[in-house]
Structures are given as structure tokens and as C-alpha cells.
Amino acid sequence: EDFGTITKAEIVQFAKEHYGPNYVAVYKRTGTDPNKVKVVKPAITPVPANRDAASAYYTEVSKLPSTELQPVFVDYKKDIQTASIKPGLPLYYTKNSENGLFSLFYAIDLGTNNLPLLDVATDYLQYLGTGQYSAAQLQQEFYKLGCSFAVSSSQDRVLVSLSGLDSNLEPALKLFEQLLNNPRPDAAALKNQVAGILKQRQDAKLNKGVILNQAMLNYAKYGPRNPFTDIVPETQLKALKPEQLTSLLKSLPTYQHRILYYGPRPLNEEPAAVVKGDAPFPADAPTGVRYPGILWSLKHGHQTPASLKPTPPAKDFAEQPLKDKKVYWVDYKMVQAEILFLTKGDIYDRAMAPTVALYNEYFGGGMGSIVFQDLRESKALAYSAMSRYANADKTGRSNYILSYIGTQSDKLPEAMAGMEGLLTDMPLADANLAIAKQSIRNSIATDRIT
């Protein structure tokens, strides 16, 4: 309203009064600069890392007394209770003693490696309503209950989640089950979603991060047939019918799955009497009102067939041997050069976990790591640098060493030689090693898993 009262004459008068000749104009011009002067690359003299030195301030601070925290480890047999909703449908329960919120998950070992359309279907769900509510009305109903839902999928897992106020779990679960079992197809929503997917694919071709860290990395690991290229073709996407996706969504609860609950209500099957005002229940709840335990709620609220069917077989992507040195190159219009070194390691072994953690912390992790200090701080060969030993996410798969350099294109030979030198002959710095070990101990001591 205030802006509407301002006249053109007032704006002109303000400009004349405040915008005189004492200004700076900056022009951004596109194209190639014909007057560009190339600077000759100077010789690089490494600066000694001096890793054992400490400033007076650091020495003073390190003398300050501090309480050493003790780690709290998860006792899976004690901290996670198990129950059975029905034969073949386990429930894993952990009590939330901090507040009145809950998180409920349906975990299905099923992914795009089993059903290629799964990620399209799970994304589609957020745009759908039910026979009773439109998509917008459904979101409003969840909002009234202080709850929300989400469905996500990966190559090998679907995670269906419901969370919010535990006192409203039953009505929220009822709404959510209605959506899962009776999603209303929406052709317009599917058309927009497909257009969005195709736009994302076009954008990905221009994104150097996607090109290097997803497309090229997967190609190096698996060859032309890999998880990155294993997508639904454009022609199939455009030919999709809404009913194909809603049918797939309806089938999710029919597969073998498990349920995880973290919340304040008890596990027991029978409804539990509570004292007026007890969390997580409403402050105005009458004394003696009985709220059900989560097992009771799920037995009466989670809709599944009499028997759950096994998940269909998953496609497998064969790992490349990586025995010989190979170079893959993408000519991307950019000033910097980005290099990713990939080395195939051993088959996953849980016993290696402590060594892997120390390697990542000491050698290739943060600003105090050997790689960062040597290539960036000492030799000025990189804008960023790291090296990481990546454990496989499943047994039977290979671990990999991933090392990265982002540098100026004219420093590429020296940067690559520097990284290869560190990988083949790792420097030993006692002070850095001690700090890395202590950092890992601190992380373990301060980590709290709920």
C-alpha cells in the first residue's frame, strides 16, 4: 500500500538528489576477450609443512582442562526390542524418551534394480490424493495432525516413512494407509513429473559434478552398463499411464518388509492407561484414557495381505577388474581441471573398519590431512584435494580408493604427479597421526544414536 502512494515525480526527484556523477558502472561482457594477457606460470617452490610446530595460542589452549566424554554404544539386544505384527512381518522398536514425536518406517529390500519404474512411482506418490481427498486436501489433513509422510527409493531399497505427533499416530496412519492402498491416478501430475525428469536429465549433462562423480565414476567401476545409465528410456516415460504407477505403489505393502518405530508409546499390544497430561498425549487428555501400544496400532492399522510375497530378483552390475591404468576424459568447457583417481581395493571386510577410519582421517580427510596440506597448502597445486577409502555398502562387493584434485589446467601434470606420489609413498607425520587418532576417539565418544 505504501509503494502505491509513491509518484513518478517523487522517484525522479529522489534520483536527481542522490544519484549524481560520482558513480561506478560495471559491465559484464560475454564472449572471448581479445585483450586478454596470459600470465607466465611461475615456478612453484613448496613451503615446508612444519607439521610439528605449534603456535603459542594453541599451546595455551591445549593446556586448558577438559572433561573426557565416555562413549555410549548401542546394545542392539537391549536398546532395540523386536516383536512380530504377523508371521514374516517383524517390528523393531526403540523408545523415544525425549519428546512426543514418532518416526515410523516400512523398509522394503526392493529397488530400481528389481523394478526400474520404482523411483518414478515413489516420486509420483507425493502428487496424488485418495478417493476421499485431493492431493492438496490430503496434505492439509496431515498438517492438521502435525504429521508428514515420505517415500524414497534407491537401487536396492524402498523406505516408506510417517512421522510427527505420536498422539495423532492412529489417524495419520489411517490416512497414510489410504494413500498407499488407494492412490488416485492423476494424468496431469504424471505429465508434469515426466517433463521434470527429462529436464533434470538434460541439466545433468551440463553439470560437471554429475559428469565426474556419477557418470564417469560408474563407467569406470562397471563399464557402459552401470547403475547411472540404467534408467527408464524417454520413450517409455512418455508412454507411461498413471495406472501403471499407482498399481506399483499399491503392491509395495504386499512384499516382504520390516517395520521400524521410534517413539514414546509402549511396545505392548494392549492399550495403555495414562495419567492426564503425560507426554506424548494431549495435555487435556482425561485421566485413565487408554492409548494403544504401537504393536496394537500396527496390527489394526497396517494393511497387508495374508502372506507377503518375496521381492523379485535384482539385476547385477559386474565390477570392472581395473588391473591396468586407464584414462577417461571429458572435454568440458571450464577453466579448472578436475581429476578423480579410482583404485579397486579388497572385498569388504568389517575388520578393516578401524584402519579405514584412520586412513580417511589422517591421509585424505579435512584441512589437517596429509593430502590437503601437501597439495594445497604446501605446493599450491590444488584448489581442493582429498583421498578416501570407500567401504562397500554390502558384503561381497569391492572397496575403492577415491582421490580427487581440483586445480588449474596448467598445473595438471604437477598435481597428478603429486597425488600419485602421496598414494604410492604416504608420508608419516607423528603429530598428524596422533591428532587423527584422537579425532576418531572424540567422534566415537560424542556420537549418540537414537
User: How many angstroms separate the CA atoms of 231 and 42, rounded?
Assistant: 47
Q: In what order do the strands lie in the sheet with 158-165?
A: 81-86, 89-95, 258-263, 101-108, 158-165, 147-153
Among residues 374, 372, 375, the alpha carbon closest in space to that of 388 is found at 372
C-alpha grid cell for residue 337? Answer: 581441471
Which amino acid, residue 146? Answer: G
Identify the helix (H) or strand (E) that includes residue 446.
helix 430-446
User: How many angstroms separate the CA atoms of 400 and 412, rounded?
Assistant: 23
pLDDT by 10s per residue, the chain, length 450: 678 889 999 999 998 888 888 778 888 888 888 888 888 888 888 888 888 788 999 899 989 998 888 999 989 889 999 999 999 999 999 999 899 999 999 999 999 999 999 999 999 999 999 999 999 999 999 999 999 999 999 999 999 999 999 989 999 999 999 999 999 999 999 999 999 999 999 999 999 999 999 999 999 999 999 999 999 999 999 999 999 999 999 999 999 999 999 999 889 866 655 544 445 445 555 555 556 789 989 998 999 999 999 999 999 999 999 999 999 999 999 989 999 999 999 999 999 999 999 999 999 888 889 999 999 999 999 999 999 999 998 899 999 999 999 999 999 999 999 999 999 999 999 989 999 999 999 999 999 887
- Please check whether the two domains, 76-301 and 336-446, share a CATH topology: yes
CB atoms within 10 A of CB 81: 14
Q: pLDDT by residue (tens digit) across 74-118?
A: 898 899 999 999 999 999 999 998 999 999 999 999 999 999 999
User: How many angstroms separate the CA atoms of 84 and 310, rounded?
Assistant: 18
Q: Which CATH architecture group holds 76-301?
A: 2-Layer Sandwich (3.30)
User: How many angstroms separate the CA atoms of 379 and 366, rounded?
Assistant: 17
Q: What is the 3-state secondary structure (H, E, C) of 285-334?
A: CCCCCEECCHHHHHHHHCCCCCCCECCCCCCCCCCCCCCCCCCCCCCCCC
User: How many angstroms separate the CA atoms of 231 and 180, rounded?
Assistant: 24
Q: In what order do the strands lie in the sheet with 398-408?
A: 336-347, 398-408, 384-390
Beta-bridge mates of residue 12: none
Task: Report the pLDDT value the prediction gives residue 290, as an integer from 0 to 100.
Answer: 56
Which amino acid, residue 204? Answer: A
Count Cβ atoms within 10 A of the Cβ of residue 17 and give its class: 0-12 exposed, 13-18 middle, 19 or more buried. exposed
What does the domain layout of the chain look like in residue ranges? 76-301, 336-446
Grid cell 578401524 is found at 354
Task: Report the pLDDT value the prediction gives residue 365, as an integer from 0 to 100.
Answer: 81
Among residues 70, 48, 50, 69, the alpha carbon closest in space to that of 58 is found at 50
Among residues 438, 434, 439, 426, the alpha carbon closest in space to that of 373 is found at 426
C-alpha grid cell for residue 127? Answer: 502428487
Q: pLDDT by residue (tens digit) across 158-176?
A: 999 999 999 899 999 999 9
What is the DSSP track for 106-131? EEES--TTT-TTHHHHHHHGGG-B-S
| pTM for the predicted model, two decimal places | 0.81
Expressed in percent and rounded to 5, the helix, strand and coil fractions of the chain are: 40, 20, 45
User: How many angstroms separate the CA atoms of 342 and 424, rounded?
Assistant: 14
Peptide bond into 46 cis (omega under 30): no
How far is residue 225 from each of residues 2, 7, 147, 396, 402, measured CA to CA in Å?
61, 65, 41, 20, 21
Contact between 304 and 277 under an 8 Å Cβ cutoff? The reply is: no
How far is residue 365 from each of residues 73, 303, 353, 403, 408, measured CA to CA in Å?
24, 46, 15, 10, 21
Phi, psi dihedral angles at 211 (to 5 degrees): -60, -45
Residues 6+ apart with CB under 8 A from 391: 348, 352, 353, 356, 399
What fold characterizes domain 336-446? Cytochrome Bc1 Complex; Chain A, domain 1 (3.30.830)
Strand pairing report for 258-263 and 290-291: unpaired
Contact between 141 and 133 under an 8 Å Cβ cutoff? The reply is: yes
